[in-house]
Amino acid sequence: MDPRLAAFFAPASVAVLGASSDPSKVGGSVLANLRAGGFPGTIVAVNPHRSVVQGLPAVASIREVPGPVDVAVIAVPAPAVLGALKDCVAHAVRGAVVLTAGFREAGVEGAEREAELRAWLADQPLRVLGPNCLGWIRPTRRLNLTFAPGMPRAGPLGFFSQSGALCTAILDWSREHGIGFSVFASLGNQADLTETELIEALVDDPETRVILGYVEGVADGRKFFETLRRAAACKPCVLMKAGRSAEGARAVSSHTGALAGSDAAFEAAVVQAGGIRAETLEELFDLARALAAQPLPVGRRVVIVTNGGGLGILATDAARAAGLDVAPLEPASRERLAAVLPPNAALGNPVDLVGDATAARYGQALGALGDGDAAHLVLLAPQAATDAVGVARVILGATRGWRRPVLAVFAGGGRVRPGAQSLEEGGVPCYTFPERAVQALAGMVALAERRALPRLAFAPPVDRVGARAHVSRLAASGSAPLGLLEGAPLLEAYRVPVLGARAAADAAGAAQAARTLGGPVALKILSPDISHKTEVGGVQLGVAPEEAAAAADALLARVGAARPTARLAGILVQRMAPADGLEMLLGAVRDPQFGPLVVLGAGGIYVEVLADTVTRLAPLGLHEARAMIDELRLAPALRGARGRPRADLDALADVICRFALLVADEPRLLELELNPLLVGAAGALAIDVRGRLGGIP
Amino acid sequence: MDPRLAAFFAPASVAVLGASSDPSKVGGSVLANLRAGGFPGTIVAVNPHRSVVQGLPAVASIREVPGPVDVAVIAVPAPAVLGALKDCVAHAVRGAVVLTAGFREAGVEGAEREAELRAWLADQPLRVLGPNCLGWIRPTRRLNLTFAPGMPRAGPLGFFSQSGALCTAILDWSREHGIGFSVFASLGNQADLTETELIEALVDDPETRVILGYVEGVADGRKFFETLRRAAACKPCVLMKAGRSAEGARAVSSHTGALAGSDAAFEAAVVQAGGIRAETLEELFDLARALAAQPLPVGRRVVIVTNGGGLGILATDAARAAGLDVAPLEPASRERLAAVLPPNAALGNPVDLVGDATAARYGQALGALGDGDAAHLVLLAPQAATDAVGVARVILGATRGWRRPVLAVFAGGGRVRPGAQSLEEGGVPCYTFPERAVQALAGMVALAERRALPRLAFAPPVDRVGARAHVSRLAASGSAPLGLLEGAPLLEAYRVPVLGARAAADAAGAAQAARTLGGPVALKILSPDISHKTEVGGVQLGVAPEEAAAAADALLARVGAARPTARLAGILVQRMAPADGLEMLLGAVRDPQFGPLVVLGAGGIYVEVLADTVTRLAPLGLHEARAMIDELRLAPALRGARGRPRADLDALADVICRFALLVADEPRLLELELNPLLVGAAGALAIDVRGRLGGIP
């Protein structure tokens, strides 16, 4: 960690610039919070107009402080911030938290002020959090550098947020839910420290076991991605991003001036880096609590143990909806359970201990199940005989040291609270109703799967030189939009299979093209005046090369008879597409923040209508491409569900990687799309190609 | 309401059979709860072995009670339940709550006991809740007939559950969340009273404003649907059903012996009746609180007011994801806001009052916005200047009497709780984070839209006699599976358009068929040995009738040359399908509980893979068919999104209604499927038909 950043994590001395005696002012409130939190280091009040502030002797300037200052909190008026920071540099302060508002978020004047600040900061030795932020909290150091009262509980969650208002809400909420933090950081306008640098610092912070963030926009997408990838390999990373909808993104930009950026690109970066995106704040913290306390699962199996049938069913439904596996128990487990449970217990999965289950029965059931490959979800409803605290004690005892995660649901309110609290304190996360526990478990599964994914670089031999030369030729000829005939050589240079096609001027040319392509071909009329080719007999499928001349003549005659006035430009001769296979789409675009992206999805009109697409940053490796395929809703069809032939997914993954490599290698390719890309048992084959080159005058 | 049912709602006297002095027993706990709840009527303890129970004089049998008894609670051992109920009948008791377990849920012996109970109950004058239930609570009468301690708060929610364990959890949880009930009923095994009868009774109960239920299975699907339809016209009905997944359904049947039934049919029945299905218990109660306190919205517009940008963005994202409309404010509203808000406030939608917003500023903003067509969502984060109680007071004052709903989000914990409580007590539901409030609002919108839907019967002139005769002919010929040629006359009798087709034995026959059909036709080889027709030149599209003979000859020759050994059965001659249009599927099946269902969805492989289908009970009206179309994910494509031609949705709705009428009229049609059903600007046209007849030897 940058030693200047380290100052924020463990300062020995803190100065408050703009310290005030009035606790309703930011500079008064932050000083009061710092002292009330019990910070054991040196606290210096800086105020040019007073010699005593809140009972502390004050100095007029930080330059006058006799000893060193590690971190300064800036709560002076906006026009004085830059001067205060200069004073800090003069006093060799390593870090500053600028709480003051009135920068980019506040009109033209504020934007100018922030630009000036950023320009000055570029070559300074101190690091700045903010401006316009709520501040910084380090509970284990009893360090509260915010104007929000009350120290949150210490814990393993390193949290940062680009919204200050959310910080105040989360701080207040977390105190009631036993959520503990290693760091609580409000990033504000990020004139210096960004979310990416904070992630980097949290990786190095030994107190942080899980990294959490609320993000509205990312300044440098590729750097964010690379950093997150390194972070996620060490610690679970859970991120939430606002601005998913167009309307939300609009609100983001009016809120902080941050560009929300492409939401799909952000999600791709998080997933590809091995992190996870939460949909709501409750999800963020539900998952974080589980990650902080329990090991990651291996596989998707979950065993559900309950004293209430209805609860078990809700958990089962939620688990199936989340893609978890609630398979029946194997016979050996059932026998062990049968030996210890009453005859009316259900031994399937869920295991129903029935309503009069005692703590001892929970213990016997967990003992009989034992630690295995599955995760366990233990549910309790406060029925007549239920001893929630006893059950909690038994769960903690029976599952201590298990290598697979155990999550609990104690459904209810006051009657189960003491038990739930014992569980939480003992390291088993406990939820109020089944669905949220299942969602947390599903998040753990996703993280485990992403973490286990080998991230091998994909570097096959390709004809880079040929592809580049082809693009240069197209660019020289001023051809910005690409079609099938222009795009095919490019794809072939990267060995992406494209269905062979030739344009022919007449019947003889068609015959020649059919012989060159080989095998039966399709003939299609080329005419600017005919859009529905089949209706005028303008399509003939399955033509053998030796019949092609006659078939082309017949086709031209049919079309001529049906549409005497249409201009006929010739005939497209194309190999016959395989009869089976799924029509997919493989596309590429360039995101201003995240660079080249590849998109895989259902082809045809379904790509737009059903939005069954998955996005990744290019380039990517084969395992990542396979994971990409698996995320599609249509993945089961590709894997041979419902009697469909199983598609060659290795071949598809190979095509995705080659395509991604091509667009990553060739920055002049602004867009490229294979649609349809026919995917079947014989592999993946591009039937049509469209694209656009950039940088062409 | 059946006067025997009315006894449960307002009994003057209650007897506890099996009353015990031991509070750890069911018969002891229910008596203690009844007395602790403060029931003002007569309480009679019945125990054959004791003369005093819990300080009350006890009688040996209910037959010895001197005065009348309205409701009896049965807590005797299972073998004695039937005798106890006979005693109740002898004493003219009108209602009994049987808490005792050991019936259908408990093995073969229990199942026999329940069968005996049901057989006896069939012609008795008393109504029974249970057996194997938690009991019945009526808070306004201080009537707690359960063995769960503590009276829930009184309120407008009439709740029933088919799971007892969930009841105990919800009771415990509701006390902390200010959830109030008019009725709280655990249905148990439903030997007599079912969920359907309870819904009927709750409609008549003036204290119940919202009907809520947790359902695992429905005994009589059609009766449930008809009852719910009447109920939903009077009061909002929110239902949750477990057993959505196959694994969950399996757990349901091992839990209560109830058949979970088709989940899609249940959902169709709830939606079509004008109710709403909640996905989780939290959703159920979040929505119920909103419905209990606020009017239904008109339209989907929502205006968001916040003091924190991040909160507003989260609300906006959630609203868009839920299909709500977060359109920018009109200029007049912006001007009114600008006149009262500081210059750094955002006047779009969300309206951002910025972090230092006072209660007065909230009041000014709400006053400037005023009641209109939109719903309002008012968000608050506990920032430095925030006065949550003051803001609550201002919200209640400013929005009193508004005809459109106002929901609040006070994000946080202890700092916002007093404000949130004032809001709830004042009739504005308040949530902890934006997403749940938005989901509740979206549920209100769905309910309002379903309630506004005209439910006019669809009764066009159709040839019922002809259709019935055609089915009889097919049945007589032993033809159980139907194809295009068998199904078409049936559909034509109900004026469902089917693309004309004929089978021809040879070229002459094909020419004759083409002339009969008229216009250009498609020729397709018929052969049991050829599956990929196009690959052998076995398909010719766009053939004019006068060319059909020659084209058929050429086709037969091409196929003969390509596959000399294939058996050729002739040629299918079919009108050319329109070139544009979306391939959809319209199908019908019979559910054992809900009867004939129609299913509309994306056609081709996508129907299975993407599961974009909507189910309804047949028959149905035109408006319901339009709502069905609107629920599809591909609805935007049908409405002309992204430059697609707009499909004729009136024609599609008409086809859906005619198809549904056919399957409702003809019980011998077990299955019928139009796939593809081509839907475009020219209407809806069945291209292929498959079906199956039942009752054929």
Distance from CA of B342 to the nearest CA of A (A): 12
Q: In this model, does residue A58 exceed pLDDT 60?
A: yes
- Please say whether the beta carbons of B412 and B432 come within 8 A: yes
- Mean pLDDT of the A408-422 span: 95
Q: Residue A626: pLDDT above 90?
A: yes
Q: Please list every residue in chain B whose beta carbon sits closer than 8 Å to the beta carbon of residue A26.
A: 384
Interface contact B534, partner A, CB < 8 A: yes
Find chain B residues with C-beta within 8 A of A605's C-beta: 582, 637, 644
Task: Residue window 48-87, chain B: list those with CB within 8 Å of chain A.
Answer: none
Residue count of chain A, please give it.
697
Give the pLDDT confidence score for residue B107 in this predicted structure: 84
**pLDDT at residue B696 greater than cutoff 60:** no
Which of the four pLDDT bands, split at 50, 70 and 90, describes residue A270?
very high
In the CATH scheme, what is the code of domain B582-693? 3.30.470.20
Q: Residue-wise over B366-391: b if at least 16 C-beta within 10 A, else e?
A: bebbeeeebbbbbbbbbbbebbbbbb
The pLDDT value given to residue B604: 67
- Beta carbons within 10 angstroms of residue A643's beta carbon: 6
Q: How many of the other CB atoms lie within 10 Å of CB of A456? A: 10
What's the alpha-carbon Rg for chain A, to the nearest Å? 32
Q: Are strands A42-46 and A13-17 parallel, antiparallel or unpaired?
A: parallel
| Contact between B320 and A247 using a beta-carbon 8 Å cutoff | yes
Q: Which of A525-529, B322-326, B338-342 has the lowest mean pLDDT?
A: A525-529
pLDDT tens per residue across span A239-248:
999 888 878 7
What would you measure as the largest C-alpha separation in chain B, in angstroms?
103
B260 pLDDT tier (thresholds 50, 70, 90): very low
Residues in A closer than 8 angstroms to B435, CB to CB, are 279-282
Q: Please state which CATH class domain A3-291 belongs to.
A: alpha beta
SS3 B346: strand
> Which amino acid, residue B498?
V
Residues 434 through 473 of chain A touching chain B, CB cutoff 8 Å: 435
Chain B residue with the nearest C-alpha to that of A562: B544
B134-171 per-position pLDDT tens digit = 999 999 999 999 998 889 999 999 999 999 889 999 99
CB contact under 8 A, A576 and B610: no
Give the model's confidence band at B610: pLDDT under 50 very low, under 70 low, under 90 confident, else very high. Answer: low
Could you write out the three-class secondary structure of A52-68? EECCEEEECCHHHCCCC
Of the CA atoms within 13 Å of residue B149, those in its CB half-sphere come to: 14
User: Is residue B189 within 8 Å of B130, Cβ to Cβ?
Assistant: yes
Comparing A77-81, A436-440, B508-512, B555-559, the range with the smallest average pLDDT is B555-559
Residue B394, pLDDT score: 98
Q: Which stretch of A251-265, A616-630, B64-78 has the lowest confidence by average pLDDT?
A: A251-265
Rounded to 10 deg, the angle between the A434-452 and A221-234 helix axes is 100
Q: For residue A330, what pLDDT is reported?
A: 94
Q: Which pLDDT does position A543 carry in this prediction?
A: 86
Q: Give burial (CB, 10 Å; 0-12/13-18/19+) of A529.
A: exposed
Q: For the residues B584-590, what does the mean pLDDT come to?
A: 93
Q: What band does A344 get if pLDDT is binned at 50, 70 and 90?
A: confident
What angle, 0 to 180 degrees and rounded to 10, lies between the N-to-C axes of helices A484-493 and A649-665?
A: 100
pLDDT at B6: 93
Q: What is the pTM of this model?
A: 0.91
- Comparing A105-114, A221-230, B289-298, B601-610, which segment has the lowest mean pLDDT? B601-610
Residue A5, amino acid: L
Question: Quick one: average pLDDT of A661-668?
Answer: 96
In this complex, the residue of B101, B172, B609 whose CB is nearest that of residue A633 is: B609
Q: Is residue B330 less than 8 Å (CB to CB) from chain A?
A: no
User: Within an 8 Å CB–CB cutoff, is residue B632 touching chain A?
Assistant: no
Cβ atoms of A620 and A288 closer than 8 Å:
no
Please give the pLDDT value at position A253: 65
Strand segments (E) across A225-370? 237-241, 276-278, 302-306, 351-352
| CA A206, chain centre distance (Å) | 24
- Residue B312 sits at the vertex; the CA angle it makes with B309 and B313, to the nearest 5 degrees, is 90
pLDDT tens per residue, range B407-465? 999 999 999 999 999 999 999 999 999 999 999 999 999 999 999 998 888 999 999 99
Evaluate if residue A81 carries a pLDDT over 70: yes
Task: Name the band, by pLDDT with cuts 50, 70 and 90, for residue A207.
Answer: very high
Give me the mean pLDDT over the A473-502 stretch.
Answer: 90
Residue A254: per-residue pLDDT? 62
Per the rule left: phi > 0, alpha: psi between -120 and 50, beta: everything else, A672 is beta
Average pLDDT over residues B257-285: 86
Of the candidates B319, B387, B330, B326, the one whose C-alpha atom is nearest the C-alpha of residue B353 is: B387
**Distance of alpha carbon A628 from alpha carbon A614, whole angstroms:** 6
Cβ of B123 under 8 Å from any chain A Cβ? no
- Separation between Cα atoms, residue A240 and residue A215, nearest integer Å: 6
Contact B161, A306 (CB under 8 A): no
Residue B639 has pLDDT above 60, yes or no: yes
Q: What angle do CA A620, A623, A626 make, to 5 degrees?
A: 100
**B154: Cβ–Cβ under 8 A, 6 or more apart, which residues?**
B139, B140, B180, B181, B182
Contact B312 A542 (CB under 8 A): no
Contacts of A173 in chain B (CB under 8 A): 411-413, 432
Nearest to A313 among B255, B309, B576 (CB): B255
| Partner A contacted by B24 (CB < 8 A) | yes
Angle at B136 between CA A386 and CA B68, to 5 degrees: 130
**Nearest-neighbour CA in chain A from B160: distance (Å):** 13
Task: List C-alpha distances in Å: B435 to B356, B427, B439.
Answer: 23, 20, 6
A172 and B350 in contact by Cβ < 8 A?
Answer: no
Q: Which residues pair with B571 in a beta bridge?
A: B504, B525
B624 near B630, Cβ under 8 Å? no
Q: Tell me how far apart the terminal alpha carbons of chain B are, to the nearest angstrom.
A: 46
Q: What is the mean pLDDT of residues B536-558?
A: 87
pLDDT value of residue A260? 46
Q: Do A166 and B344 touch (CB under 8 A)?
A: no
Which residues on chain B are in Cβ contact (under 8 Å) with A534?
541-542, 576, 579
Which ranges of B588-691 would DSSP assign to H, the alpha helix? 606-609, 622-631, 635-638, 649-665
Whether residue A541 and residue B520 make contact (CB cut-off 8 A), yes or no, is: no
Q: Is B176 on the interface with A (CB under 8 A)?
A: yes
In the predicted model, is pLDDT for residue A605 greater than 70? no
B382 touches chain A (CB under 8 A): yes
CATH number of the domain located at residue range(s) A500-576 in this protein: 3.30.1490.20
Over 90: is that where the pLDDT of B644 sits?
no
pLDDT at B10: 96
CA A521 to CA A21: how far, in whole Å?
87
Which comes out higher in pLDDT, residue A582 or B234?
A: B234
What class, spelled out in words, does domain B296-452 have in CATH? Answer: alpha beta
Q: CB–CB of B609 and A636 under 8 A?
A: yes
Span A357-388, pLDDT tens digits = 999 999 999 999 999 999 999 999 998 778 99
CA A530 to centroid of chain Cα atoms: 45
Pick from B169, B641, B642: CB nearest A381: B169
What does the block give as tokens for A494? 């990267």
Mean pLDDT, chain B, as a whole number? 92
Q: Is A321 on the interface with B (CB under 8 A)?
A: yes
Closest CA to A562 of A590, A585, A530: A530
In the DSSP assignment, the letter for residue B537 is T
Q: Is B541 on the interface with A (CB under 8 A)?
A: yes
Q: How far is B68 from chain A (nearest CA, A)?
A: 31
CB A26 within 8 A of CB A147: yes
Query: Looking at the predicted structure, is the pLDDT value of residue B257 above 60?
Result: no
Q: Kindly list the residues from chain A whose CB atom is less than 8 angstroms away from the CB atom of residue B280.
A: 314, 318, 433, 435
What band does A13 get if pLDDT is binned at 50, 70 and 90?
very high
Under an 8 A CB cutoff, do B542 and A520 touch? no
Cα dihedral value A45, A47, A49, A53, nearest 10: -30
State the Cα–Cα distance between residues A230 and B656, nearest whole angstrom: 55
Contacts of B412 in chain A (CB under 8 A): 168-173
Q: Do domains A3-291 and A296-452 have the same CATH topology?
A: yes
**Is the pLDDT at A407 greater than 50, yes or no?**
yes
Does the pLDDT at position B619 exceed 90?
yes
* Residue spans per domain, chain B: 3-291, 296-452, 500-576, 582-693
Which residue in B364, B353, B369, B362 sits closest to B303, CA to CA? B369
Contact B309 A539 (CB under 8 A): no
Token match 């002809």: residue? B466
d(CA B263, CA B119) in angstroms, rounded, equals 29
Q: How many CB atoms lie within 10 A of CB B697?
A: 5
End-to-end Cα spacing for chain A: 46
Q: Which residues, in sequence order, are CB contacts of B83 under 8 Å at separation 6+?
A: none
Mean pLDDT of chain A: 92
**What letters, b where the CB count within 10 A reaches 16 and e where it falls short, cover B210-225?**
bbbbbbbbbeebeebb
* Least Cα separation, residue A402 to chain B (angstroms): 26
Of all residues in chain A, the one with the smallest CA distance to B388 is A169
Check whether A204 has a pLDDT greater than 90: yes
pLDDT classification of B255: cutoffs 50, 70, 90:
low
Interface of A with B in 354-373 (CB under 8 A): 355
pLDDT band at A608 (very low <50, low <70, confident <90, very high): low
| % chain A with pLDDT above 70 | 97
**AA identity, residue A696:** I
B605–A610 C-beta distance less than 8 A: no
Measured distance CA(A296)–CA(A299) in Å, rounded: 10
Write down how long chain B is: 697
- What CA–CA distances, in Å, run from B311 to A103, A237, A281, B286? 20, 22, 11, 19
B582 touches chain A (CB under 8 A): yes
Mean pLDDT on A285-311: 95
Query: A334-339 long-range CB contacts below 8 Å, 24 or more apart?
Result: A336/A368, A336/A369, A337/A365, A337/A368, A337/A369, A339/A368
d(CA B369, CA B619): 44
Tokens of A525: 């009329």
CB-CB neighbors (< 8 A) of B313 in chain A: 163, 216, 242-243, 248, 251-252, 255
- pLDDT of A78 > 50? The answer is yes
**CA–CA distance, A396 with A348 (Å, rounded to integer):** 23
Distance from CA of A526 to the nearest CA of B (A): 16
Which residues face B96 on adjacent strands?
Answer: B72, B128
Best of A133, A314, A576 to substitute, by most chain B Cβ atoms within 10 angstroms, is A314
CB-CB: which of A172, A216, A641 is closest to B412?
A: A172
